[in-house]
């Protein structure tokens, strides 16, 4: 009985010790994270876009699925051959969608619809690296057999390098504010305990629609498509422990 009481007492003491250690750590951690101060910084980088991306669709209707696919393949090859003649590499011509839709005729007074043919719709994304040729290429794409140009955007091919530059500026801005406050209020800053960032300012696509006219083009030559400039903005927040 005596040994049992001693063993029980030891267990209780161990449990209490663990509880006290955990409570102490929680208080210390709370104190560490409570006495903090945060600073925000912003960095901007402006650069001219170096590529253009355009999406196009090649649509073909035929009585049978095979006929529609065969004819669509011919049109697609004509468009691709044209793009290659404009020195656009294979890696910059990518099919993003390929769909076959049955075409139905619905009876006027109810009943089951009947299939009257098939439509093939192939979507392709093209990356144009010579921005001086964008206008002519848009016109040539439609003249070569594309039914529709759905969107156009001017972008930076490697935005991560500019993002890193903007981030460095934002961090320097936040640290400058921290040093300024340190001198103004006489606080002592400890280690950085939190960091967050938000990136914005990527280019918004220019939505456009180019249909084939009676002459096999968009009419009036290629469209006017100024590239402008892109701005990448990074906002950061740095949180310091106050000593």
- Kindly report the CATH class assigned to 50-157+204-228: alpha beta
Domain ranges of the chain: 50-157+204-228
The residues pairing with 115 across neighbouring beta strands, listed in sequence order, are 104
Phi, psi of 215 (to 5 degrees): -100, 5
Nearest to 240 by CA among 25, 34, 43: 34
Each residue's pLDDT tens digit, 173-223: 999 999 988 878 778 889 999 999 998 765 555 544 544 443 334 444 556
Which helix (H) or strand (E) segment is 218 a member of?
none
What is the reported pLDDT for 183? 79
Each residue's pLDDT tens digit, 63-103: 999 999 999 999 999 999 999 999 999 999 999 999 999 99
Nearest to 72 by CA among 62, 87, 83: 62
Q: Is 108 helix (H, G, I), strand (E, B) or coil?
A: coil
What is the reported pLDDT for 229? 78
């Amino acid at each position: 009985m005596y040994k049992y009481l001693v063993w029980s007492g030891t267990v209780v003491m161990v449990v209490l010790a663990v509880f006290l250690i955990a409570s102490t750590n929680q208080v210390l951690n709370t104190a560490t994270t409570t006495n903090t101060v945060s600073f925000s910084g912003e960095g901007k980088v402006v650069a001219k876009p170096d590529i253009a991306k355009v999406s196009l669709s090649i649509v073909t209707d035929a009585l049978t699925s095979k006929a529609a696919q065969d004819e669509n393949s011919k049109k697609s090859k004509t468009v691709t051959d044209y793009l290659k003649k404009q020195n656009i590499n294979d890696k910059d011509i990518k099919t993003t969608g390929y769909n076959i839709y049955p075409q139905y005729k619905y009876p006027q007074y109810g009943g089951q619809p009947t299939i009257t043919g098939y439509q093939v719709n192939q979507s392709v994304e093209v990356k144009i690296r010579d921005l001086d040729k964008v206008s002519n290429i848009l016109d040539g794409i439609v003249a070569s057999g594309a039914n529709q140009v759905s969107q156009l955007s001017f972008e930076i091919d490697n935005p991560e390098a500019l993002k890193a530059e903007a981030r460095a500026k934002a961090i320097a801005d936040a640290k400058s504010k921290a040093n300024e406050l340190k001198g103004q209020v006489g606080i002592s800053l400890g280690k950085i305990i939190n960091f967050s960032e938000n990136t914005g300012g990527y280019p918004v696509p220019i939505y456009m629609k180019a249909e084939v006219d009676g002459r096999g083009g968009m009419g009036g030559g290629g469209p006017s498509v100024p590239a402008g400039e892109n701005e990448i903005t990074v906002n950061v927040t740095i949180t310091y422990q106050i000593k």
